[in-house]
Amino acid sequence: MKTWKGLWTKEWQMMRGWLSATTVIAILLIIVSSSALSLLVEGKLVISFMLGISLMMMTLIVVCVPVSLLLNSLWIEWKRPDVWLHSPQTIYQLFGSKTVFASVIGFVSMIVPGVTLALYASIFDASITEVGVAKFIGMMYTFISSVYLGAVGLMLIGLFLAVVYRVIKSYVRRGAFFIWLIVLFILMWLFQTALESKLYQKIVHLGQFSTYTDSRNISVGNFYFAQSTMALYAGQIFVVVGFLAFLFVSSAWLFEKKVRL
């Protein structure tokens, strides 16, 4: 545990300046943009309109926080082989500490829009009383969980693609970006082919264990939630977790091979 604590402390000290600057820039961007759009559309500053715009912008921003944080952290240490070759920790621990740190920061970032909306709704919006606080909290949980899982997936995909680019660049000095694009298109084609295969469809529909039996719509100010009837399968969870684990392990393995060239 001391090893992980030390690695996370190093990550915090290395990235806190970037996090502070990014937070300030994001807040200013959200305030200015929501105010400008409110004046343009409504002709005045309307809190409910500004809140809806702010939360949508914040959601888009926080989805990019984990992948941006992880890639910036790696960028700082890309060209420092001593960090990777002479560290007592394995490449999986080094990559893991950065990934977990970025995931935790991303989770904290996800909580902010949810808490903001919940406070606003409970104080200023009477429609929540009609719908029910429990149902509203359930929808918020579903919303934040979905956005967070999407952000983690984007982070690991970004990690894998960044490592692939670094590996290609270590072999090819000129034209590495174009080769990387070709590899990207090939991977996208393989991914699409796998999604359309009968085997994939069979696997993801195994083990249905939870179903949302009712659809719910909630409107808070100008922010609209809609939850459709859906089923959750154990096969889906297995495929998603396996795919994300593959991205992490293959990224660490490829990078280790690249460093030792």
Summarised one tens digit per residue, pLDDT across range 87-112 is: 778 888 888 899 999 999 988 887 87
The mean per-residue pLDDT over the stretch 117-126 comes to 63
Q: How confident is the model at residue 16 (pLDDT cuts 50, 70, 90)?
A: confident
Question: Has residue 212 got a pLDDT over 60?
Answer: no
CB of 34 within 8 A of CB of 53? Answer: yes
In order of 18, 114, 121, 144, 215, the CA distances from 133 in angstroms are: 37, 14, 10, 16, 16
Question: Has residue 250 got a pLDDT over 90?
Answer: yes
Q: Number of C-alpha atoms within 13 angstroms, CB side, residue 224?
A: 3
Which is more confident, 227 or 66? 66
Q: How confident is the model at residue 260 (pLDDT cuts 50, 70, 90)?
A: low
In this predicted structure, what is the pLDDT of residue 220? 54
User: Distance between CA 151 and CA 149 in Å, rounded?
Assistant: 5
In order of 48, 169, 222, 223, the CA distances from 121 in angstroms are: 10, 51, 11, 10
In this predicted structure, what is the pLDDT of residue 11? 86
In this predicted structure, what is the pLDDT of residue 216? 59
With H, G, I as helix, E, B as strand and everything else as coil, classify residue 219.
strand
Spatial CA neighbour of 225 closest among 110, 129, 137, 119: 137
C-beta neighbour count of 187 within 10 angstroms: 14
CB of 57 within 8 A of CB of 33? Answer: yes
In this predicted structure, what is the pLDDT of residue 146? 79
Question: Has residue 127 got a pLDDT over 60?
Answer: no
Domain total for the chain? 1
Question: Has residue 211 got a pLDDT over 60?
Answer: no
Segments forming the whole domain that contains residue 49: 2-259
pLDDT in tens, 49-78: 777 777 778 778 888 889 999 999 888 887
User: Distance between CA 261 and CA 256 in Å, rounded?
Assistant: 9
With H, G, I as helix, E, B as strand and everything else as coil, classify residue 149.
helix
Q: Nearest 5 degrees, angle CA 187-CA 98-CA 243?
A: 30
pLDDT in tens, 129-149: 555 556 666 666 777 777 888
Contacts with 205 (C-beta within 8 Å, 6 or more apart), sequence order: 233, 235
The mean per-residue pLDDT over the stretch 219-228 comes to 57
CB of 142 within 8 A of CB of 154? Answer: no
CB of 128 within 8 A of CB of 223? Answer: no
Question: Has residue 41 got a pLDDT over 70?
Answer: yes
Average pLDDT, the chain: 80
H helices present in the chain, as ranges: 2-42, 47-77, 81-85, 91-124, 127-131, 133-171, 176-196, 198-204, 234-259
How would you label 50-73 residue by residue, b for 16+ Cβ within 10 Å and e otherwise? bbbbbbebbbebbbbbbbbbbbeb
